[in-house]
Every structure is written in C-alpha cells, then in structure tokens.
Amino acid sequence: MNRRAFVRTMCQGGLATFACPLVTFAQVRQRGRLVFVLLRGGFDGLAAVVPHGDPAYASLRGALAYEEESLLPLDGTFGLSPGLAPLRELWQRDELVVLHAMAIPYRTRSHFDGQAILETGIDKPAGSADGWLNRLLQVMPGSRSGIAIAAGMPRSLSGSFDVQTWSPAKLGVVDDAYLQRLAVLYRGDAALSGRFEAALHQQDMVGEEPMAGSGARRGGIAPLMRAAAHILREDGGPNIAAMEFSGWDTHANQGLAGGALDRLLGQLAEGITAFRTEMQAAWATTTIVVMTEFGRTARPNGTRGTDHGTAGAGFLIGPNVAKSQVFADWPGLGDSALYEGRDLKPTLDTRAVLKAAIAGTFDLNAAQAGRVFPSSDNVKGAYHLMG
Amino acid sequence: MDLTLRALNRFGLGARPGERGPISDPRGWLRGQIGGAPPALAAPEVASPTAIAEALRAVRAAGQDQAKRQEARRRLVAIALAESRACLTQRVGTERPYVERLVAFWSNHLCVSAAAKLQVAPLAGSYEREVIRPHVLGRFEDMVMASAKHPAMLIYLDNFQSIGPQSAGSKRARGNRAQRGLNENYARELLELHTLGVDGGYAQQDVQELARALTGWSVSGPGEPGAGAAPAMGRRRAAQNGGATSAAERVAFAYRALLHEPGSRTIVGKRYSDEGLAQGERTIRDLCRHASTARFVATKLVTHFVSDTPPPSAVDRIARVFRESEGDLRALSGALVDLTEAWSPDARKFRTPQDWLVAVMRAFGVKDVDEREVAVLRQLRHPLWSPAAPKGFGDSLQEWADPDSLLNRGELARTFTRRGAGRPIDPRELLEVVDVPPADPLRTLVADASIPAADRVALTIAGPAFQWR
C-alpha cells in the first residue's frame, strides 16, 4: 500500500475509533484562507516598489536607481522592479494592492524588536504576548485551524490556540511499513493519536511532487509556496498559514536588475504566482499579506547596500481585494521629508492593512479585528482595500 | 506505573539500561543527588574568557566588511558549538541527572538567547556555567543577582547600553549623535519573567523606575559596542575604580557610576535611596523575596515537574517552601521530590526535543556528543540557549507535540538507528527504560523477530510511550 492509500484508509476507515483531526463537524467550517508571508531581515521597499516619479528619486538612490523603462508600470509614480514582473497578471486581474510608506507602529531599527512588534501585533515590545495570527484564531468564529509552514514555530502563530507546523521532511528515511507500525503505536495514546494522524495527512496532501528538486531544502520560495497551497486548498484545511523567508537584510551589493535582491524578488513573485495556480478553486477565498519588520535607508550606504530603516513596502493579494492599486500616502523623498533625515517616513500602520485583510477574508467586524490588535483603537482599518 | 522509572525519567534525564535495578528508593535516590556542591563544568578549550573576548572583538572590528564578518561569525559559532557539546555531554553522562535537569530549568527561566543577538552566542554557555550552575542548589536571589551582572544577560536584554537621562555622563554627551538613553528591556523582563510574573503586581511606572535604578550596569571589554563619548567617559572611571582592570582580556560586568541615573527610586511600593550600584542590588534582592515571586516560580516548577495544568495544592506547598526558606533552591528541590502530586499515575509531561534527544542517547548508552546532535536540536527547533523570546522555551504538550514534530522524531529515530548507535542494541533492553503497560502493542512489536532489530529500536524511541516523562 502506498502512503496516500494508507493515510486515506487511516482517516476514513478509522473514523469510528478516532476522529480525523482536520475535520470537525460540530461547527460551521471557515472557508477563508489567509497566508501571512514575513520577509525577515527588513526588505528594501524602495528597491521593490520603485517611486521613479518622485523628483528626488534618481539622485537619492544614486547607483541603486532604476531607469523607468526597466520597471513594470503601476501608475505615474510607481513601478515594480524587474524581478517582480511575474506579478503583472495579478495586477491586471485586480488582485494586487501594493502598499508603501508602511511601517510597524513602534520605531526601532532592531530586527529582534521589529519582528516582535510585527508578529505580536502589539504597539510596543511585550515579552510574553501571543502572536497576532494566534489571537486571530482565538477570535474567529467557526471551525478553524492554523499552520506554520516554516522550520520553526514563528512568533506570529505562537499562543494558546493549538496550531500545526509543517516543514519539508526527509521522508526518504521512513517507509510505509515503518510509518504504519508507528501509527499503530500512536493509536493507543489518546493524547497523541490525533496529532500523529494529522502529520500523516499533511504529508499526504503535499505528496512527493512539489518538493521535487532540492530547492526547498535550500529555502527556495516557490517550492515551499507550492507545498503550502497543497495543504491549504483542502476542504477543511488550515485557514491561516504563516510563512517566512530570509535573506532580505541587504547591507551590501544589493544590485539592480539581475542582482542579488532582484533575484530574490523574482523567487518571491514566482512563489506567489505558483501558489495562486496551485490553490485552484480555493484561491477564490484566499488572501496573501506580505510584510517585513522595517524598510531600509533611503540612500545607499558605502557598500552598495542599504541599512536598517523605517517605512517600506508590502503587498495585499487575492481575489477579494477591491481593486488593484498602489495604496500609499506618499511622504516624498526630499531631504526634509525623510524620517530622521535618512529613512522613508511612515504614513501607514501595518495594523490598518492587517485589520482590513482579516475582516475581508473572514467576515469579521471592526470590534473583532480590534481584539486581534489590542491597543489599536486609534488605527482605523483600511477596510476599503477589500471588496 | 513504575516509580523508579518516574524518578529516572520525570525528575532525571532518562533511564539507562541497567540503571533501574539497583535503585530501591526512588525518592531517596533523587534526594541523594541534591546533597553537596553542584557538579561543576569546565569551559571548553576554545571557549576560554580570552577566546570569547577575541571573538567578540573580531565582530566589532569587521564592521560592514562581509568577508571579515563571515570569519568573525565562524569564531562565534565555533565557541557556541563547543559549549553546546559540553553541555549535552554533561547531560548525557551525568550520574546526578536531577541536578542537571534543575540546571536546564533555571537556565531557561533566566534565559539568554543567541537567536536574538549574535554577541550572545559565545557567552550563553559561560552564562550557564558561571551563573546557573554554581547557584542551582543555592539561593534564588544569588542566582538572579549573578544573572543581572553577567555580560550575556546585560547584552541580551540591552541593559549595558541603558543610560540615565540625568546622569553626568549623559549630560556631558549632549549633542553627540551616538548618545543613548534609558532602555527598559531588562527591567521589564526582570519583573515579568524572572521574579514577580506578569500579574505579580507591578506597573509601567515600576518598570521605568527599575530601569533607572539599573542604569550604569554595563559591560567592559570587547562586548561593549558603540563606544560613544558617554560610555568612553564611564569606561575610564570604571577602570580607575578597578572595576575593569582586566577589560582587555575578558568581557566582564562593569558598573559605570557616571551613567547611573541619580536620585532615589520607588519600585513596587518601596523606596530606594541612591547608593549607586547598591540601589539596584537591594531592589533585586527585594524582588526575589516578594510573595509574587514565590508563587510565580512555584507555578513554573510544578508545571515542569508535575503537569501542564499544575495542581493548586502543589503550587501552594512549593510557594510556601520558597517563602519560608527565603528562596533556598536545595530545599525547594527536595520539596518537589516530596510532592505526592508528582508521583500520581495521571501526572505526565511530554518530553521537549532536548529531553527526548538526551533520553535517547542515555538509553543507547552513548557517551560522545558531536555536531550532529547539536544539528538535530536545531532541526527540532530546540537548540540550546536560543529561545525566540525572553520568556524562554515552553515545556508543554501544546508547545512541542505538533504533528510535524512527531513525524520528525519518527524520521530521526530511523536515522539514528540506521547510522548505528556505536554498539548493537537489543530492542528488548529498551523496555527497561520506558514505562510500557503490559498489554501495550509496543511489547508485541519489540518481540517480533520478523522486524529488523534496528527498526524495533527506532519504533521504541519514536513511539508514544517514549515521548513522555
């Protein structure tokens, strides 16, 4: 018996003795899907979403300035960098909101603090706060579940709501006979049997195919996003997924088209479009949010890179956004407009976007969204971004 | 239920084949371990104070030069790796596993994290050896005080760069771009995570006041980054005071009077006059003796040794012992052994990845720990001294028994047994180290000669019975 058949037997034939944990019939099942993609390291919003129309742009960016012709035009001011060109289709289908001059609510240039703020959704560092995705699971109605598609449990999903994790496993070392015997042992343990079956089930959803090649092991973005889609598109699959990619801390030689950062952006764009395709029908209820802990300095540094800054860019993606648009209260790049004379000035709070994303994806009201982001009463959700 | 296995697995770090037989009195066996001085652990050769200082200096000297940064990073990682191996070797080979479990518990309670700051990586092992180990059977407040003064903690939670806004050093440095101010990070965690607990009865005002009382608590030597004008002045003074005479050779605690916020402070209802260093010291001792601290620490200990849902009766008893003994950790460790709740059949704890790996190695009788084991802990997202947040790693079922982790343990078990444990293992002898009920299917599997012996060993350590302690 191959693994797929084996798991199917376990989950269907075994329902009399143990419930398959991914399906709960007692409550109405949540249909929405939200994928939170964290770009760890502080990704350079000015290199990804290029404000070529800003009069100060070319001189400010110097060696890192793009020619307008090389960009994918969004409007008169902004264009996407060459690596992000695969997102063109999303833009044309009214599925892409480009966010800019956006920042977390707390001013820090520390990765540690910045990621903690973004992932807890609190407005200042708090040692023991739950992640906001976990709070979202606590607040959401209906039958729902969350999963971390990452090597560890990201802070954003940590908390009292039980969530799953999945990372590309080296299942080559285990065969079905071994797994089957292990499953028999686990069936005798009431506290663990459901969890073990869930693991087999997830593994079955992913199958062998999407992880083919060594890309995922090296942290390639597209294979992991494809695998994520295979888990999320299932009926009754997880509603919330946290994913994370690193490599964005570009202090040196970030380059232009074809350079280090542009190649990484290309992987990201490829991953997003592959995810969209693999979600199949489930894409209709799916939203992706892409964010980072901080933007980078507006000017290049002495090593053709950029240092830790403040505001940056992000993306809100899915068929349920109101329309494709650049959403930014653009502060400008003139010397006097820069935050502390060096960074893009923040004019948009990450929580305004996140509130809109969760409300639009899961039919939450403003009060519920407010419980996911405590102490955010003064931050109005940008609800009009979602249709 | 087997009480001897309970002592070996719950309080210890996992039974070894043949270890159960000679133990006739499980509680007495545990009490015997907490008599006498705690076991010392020598610094690995590559992790001498000089080597740590040199490695940190290399990081600073590298600046933005990528090649030099890589090289400096390699040195830090080499030190961290040697420390991890030394720590795991101790846990795997110890004859006093209860004491080693206590070291791990307190090290996590007062954790530092290499995951947060690169500079902590080479210091974390020495932190456990110098701060936790010597006090593990001593007084709680001495351990917290040692922690407050260790460079690893000072750097991890930023107190080394916290400067009193009204201090002489700050005033003289006005206008200097490198000037910094008050940093509340350590003060907050000291209240929230180390002593009173989040509901322990303190307010934001107390956090700020405590942060002010602790200004000037800094580090000397190459651990101290960003030498702006203000720290430089403080540094000279510290050297004159004799506080940093060996600054060039090692990273050490330094009290910089010039950066200390002048004035008396009111913290959790008590007033502390300004006596420089002594102001913070007196505050820390009082926080450690606070009734909220007794309850907070007791809850955490009972959760660790009894159940994810700690029985209130047990918490009450441990909290009382904490108060009455004024935080005597030897008395507290004895009281944990005496808890009837810890020996009840329905109390059990899911093994964390570190617990699981160490228990596997003890069950296999392995002596040497190498880089592969350190890598396995990374894969299981439980590397030593690297929690994601100052709260430390959790020890609950919910935190560790996610589906992916169970499968991961299944795969690793297969990997270990295929690699060979260094000696042939008879799967039947593993039934001595894990509490398996008579009718459990594991007994049938282990006796089934049609399954390869290596697979039967793998199934034993990957199966559910071995995941509990």
B217-246 pLDDT, tens digit per residue, is 999 976 554 433 334 434 444 444 444 444
Instruction: Please judge whether A252 and B66 are an interchain contact, meaning their C-beta atoms are less than 8 angstroms apart.
Output: yes
Q: What is the mean pLDDT of residues A87-113?
A: 94
Query: Is residue B91 a part of any domain in this protein?
Result: no
Which pLDDT score is estimated for A164?
85
Averaging pLDDT over each range in A381-385, B228-232, B365-369, which range is the top one? A381-385
The reply to whether B241 and B374 lie within a common domain is no
The reply to whether B283 and B357 lie within a common domain is no
Task: Copy the structure tokens of residue B32.
Answer: 């015997």
The reply to whether B143 and B274 lie within a common domain is yes
Return the sign of the alpha-carbon dihedral for residues B102, B103, B106, B111. Answer: negative
Please write the tens of the pLDDT for every residue from A194-206. 999 888 887 777 6
Q: Are B401 and B467 in contact (CB under 8 A)?
A: yes
Instruction: Please judge whether A189 and B464 are an interchain contact, meaning their C-beta atoms are less than 8 angstroms apart.
Output: yes
Which pLDDT score is estimated for B180?
66
Instruction: Please judge whether A181 and B451 are an interchain contact, meaning their C-beta atoms are less than 8 angstroms apart.
Output: yes
Spatial CB neighbours of A190, under 8 Å, sequence gap ≥ 6? none
A326-to-A101, A273, B469 alpha-carbon distances in Å: 11, 19, 55
Query: Is residue B396 a part of any domain in this protein?
Result: yes
Query: Is residue B67 a part of any domain in this protein?
Result: no
Query: Is residue B269 a part of any domain in this protein?
Result: yes
Phi, psi of B455 (to 5 degrees): -70, -35
Which pLDDT score is estimated for A213?
35
The reply to whether B176 and B144 lie within a common domain is yes
Using a cut of 0.80, tell me whether the model's pTM lies above it.
no
Min distance B398 CA to chain A CA atoms (Å): 6
Other residues' Cβ atoms within 10 Å of the Cβ of residue A181: 21
Instruction: Please judge whether B388 and A155 are an interchain contact, meaning their C-beta atoms are less than 8 angstroms apart.
Output: yes
Instruction: Please judge whether A173 and B193 are an interchain contact, meaning their C-beta atoms are less than 8 angstroms apart.
Output: no
Q: From chain A, pick out residues whose CB is under 8 angstroms from the CB of B198.
A: 128
Which pLDDT score is estimated for B181?
84
From B192, B198, B401, residue closest to A195, measured CB to CB: B401
Whole domain around residue B13: which residue ranges?
Answer: 3-26+349-467
Min distance A29 CA to chain B CA atoms (Å): 21
CA dihedral B415, B416, B418, B421 (to 10 degrees): 170
Residue of A157, A162, A178 to mutate when probing chain B, most B C-beta within 10 A? A178
Which pLDDT score is estimated for A211?
44
Q: What is the mean pLDDT of residues A158-187?
A: 80
Nearest to A254 by CA among B179, B339, B141, B66: B66
Model confidence band, residue A305 (pLDDT cutoffs 50, 70, 90): confident
Q: From chain A, pick out residues whose CB is under 8 angstroms from the CB of B397.
A: 191
The reply to whether B299 and B244 lie within a common domain is no
Q: From chain B, pick out residues whose CB is under 8 angstroms from the CB of A182.
A: 410, 459, 462-463
Min distance B441 CA to chain A CA atoms (Å): 6
Asked if the model's pLDDT at residue B67 lies above 90, the reply is no
Alpha carbon distance B373, B87 (integer Å): 12
Model confidence band, residue A236 (pLDDT cutoffs 50, 70, 90): confident
Residue of A10, A110, A115, A182 to mutate when probing chain B, most B C-beta within 10 A? A182
Which pLDDT score is estimated for B63?
81
Other residues' Cβ atoms within 10 Å of the Cβ of residue A28: 10
Which pLDDT score is estimated for A161?
92
Cα-Cα end-to-end distance for chain A: 46
Return the sign of the alpha-carbon dihedral for residues B323, B326, B332, B334. Answer: negative
The reply to whether B278 and B168 lie within a common domain is yes
Alpha carbon distance A25, A15 (integer Å): 12
Which pLDDT score is estimated for B174?
63
Alpha carbon distance B144, B121 (integer Å): 20
The reply to whether B267 and B147 lie within a common domain is yes
Q: Are A165 and A126 in contact (CB under 8 A)?
A: no
Which pLDDT score is estimated for A43?
95
From A127, A164, A303, residue closest to B391, measured CB to CB: A127
Q: From chain B, pick out residues whose CB is under 8 angstroms from the CB of A188.
A: 440-441, 464
Task: Copy the structure tokens of residue A281.
Answer: 């029908």
> Considering only alpha carbons, which residue of chain B is nearest residue A305?
B64
Other residues' Cβ atoms within 10 Å of the Cβ of residue B264: 12
Alpha carbon distance A364, A292 (integer Å): 24
B61-to-B56, B58, B68, B74, B219 alpha-carbon distances in Å: 9, 5, 8, 14, 18
Min distance A162 CA to chain B CA atoms (Å): 6
**Domain A31-175+210-385 class?**
alpha beta
AA identity, residue A371? R
Q: What is the mean pLDDT of residues B110-120?
A: 91
Q: What is the mean pLDDT of residues A56-66?
A: 95
Q: What is the mean pLDDT of residues B164-173?
A: 86
The pLDDT mean for chain A works out to 87
A250-to-A63, A66, A305, A333, A347 alpha-carbon distances in Å: 15, 17, 6, 20, 23
* Residue A248 exposed, middle or buried by CB count within 10 Å (0-12, 13-18, 19+): buried
Min distance B32 CA to chain A CA atoms (Å): 34
What is the predicted ipTM? 0.88
Q: From chain B, pick out residues whose CB is under 8 angstroms from the CB of A38.
A: none
Please write the tens of the pLDDT for every residue from B329-341. 999 999 999 999 9
Domain count, chain B: 3
Query: Touching check for B63 and chain A: CB below 8 Å?
Result: no
Alpha carbon distance B101, B98 (integer Å): 5
The reply to whether B356 and B223 lie within a common domain is no
Query: Is residue B129 a part of any domain in this protein?
Result: no
The reply to whether B167 and B257 lie within a common domain is yes
Query: Touching check for A112 and chain B: CB below 8 Å?
Result: yes
Query: Is residue B125 a part of any domain in this protein?
Result: no
Query: Touching check for A202 and chain B: CB below 8 Å?
Result: yes
The reply to whether B165 and B232 lie within a common domain is yes
Query: Is residue B437 a part of any domain in this protein?
Result: yes
Query: Is residue B316 a part of any domain in this protein?
Result: yes
**Chains A–B, number of C-beta pairs less than 8 Å apart:** 117
Which pLDDT score is estimated for A336?
95
Query: Touching check for B368 and chain A: CB below 8 Å?
Result: no
User: A96-103 and A79-80 as β-strands: parallel, antiparallel, unpaired?
Assistant: unpaired
A210-to-A174, A201, A213, A282, B284 alpha-carbon distances in Å: 19, 16, 8, 18, 55
Nearest to B374 by CA among B152, B57, B44: B44
Q: From chain B, pick out residues whose CB is under 8 angstroms from the CB of A185.
A: 441-442, 445, 459, 463-465
Max Cα–Cα distance, chain A, nearest Å: 70
A291-305, B110-124, B222-236: least confidently modelled range: B222-236
The reply to whether B252 and B330 lie within a common domain is no
Spatial CB neighbours of B117, under 8 Å, sequence gap ≥ 6? A112, B155, B156
Residue of B158, B404, B443 to mutate when probing chain A, most A C-beta within 10 A? B404
Please write the tens of the pLDDT for every residue from B339-351. 999 999 889 999 9
Instruction: Please judge whether A174 and B410 are an interchain contact, meaning their C-beta atoms are less than 8 angstroms apart.
Output: yes
AA identity, residue A345? K
A38-52, A122-136, A336-350, B250-264: least confidently modelled range: A122-136
The reply to whether B227 and B366 lie within a common domain is no
Alpha carbon distance B271, B286 (integer Å): 11
Min distance A23 CA to chain B CA atoms (Å): 15
Tell how far CA A303 is from the center of its chain: 29
Min distance B35 CA to chain A CA atoms (Å): 35
